[in-house]
């Protein structure tokens, strides 16, 4: 019974990973770095460390196609 339960957990995890990799076509929009930072401030509530974490996150790198590094 334990092996079957483990197999079900692995199957569910693989299904989640497969759906997470699906990339939907998006419309290209030109956005400035200032716009991204302002949106991050709006999203996290104005805490500078959280904004830096959001702007330099791997998800933002994928979304923008650029790796943003926050210094300071």
In the chain, where the domains are located:
2-64
pLDDT tens, position by position, 12-56: 777 766 655 566 677 888 889 999 999 999 999 888 999 999 999
CA-CA distance, 36 to 9, in Å (whole number)? 37
| C-alpha distances in Å from residue 42, one per residue of 18, 35, 37, 46, 48 | 31, 11, 9, 7, 11
- Please tell me whether the overall predicted TM-score, pTM, comes out greater than 0.85 for this model: no
């Amino acid at each position: 019974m334990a092996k079957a339960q483990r197999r079900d957990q692995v199957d569910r995890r693989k299904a989640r990973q497969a759906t997470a990799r699906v990339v939907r076509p998006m419309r290209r929009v030109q956005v400035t770095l200032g716009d991204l930072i302002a949106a991050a401030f709006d999203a996290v509530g104005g805490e500078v460390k959280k904004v830096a974490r959001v702007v330099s996150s791997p998800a933002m790198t994928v979304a923008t196609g650029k790796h943003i590094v926050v210094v300071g």
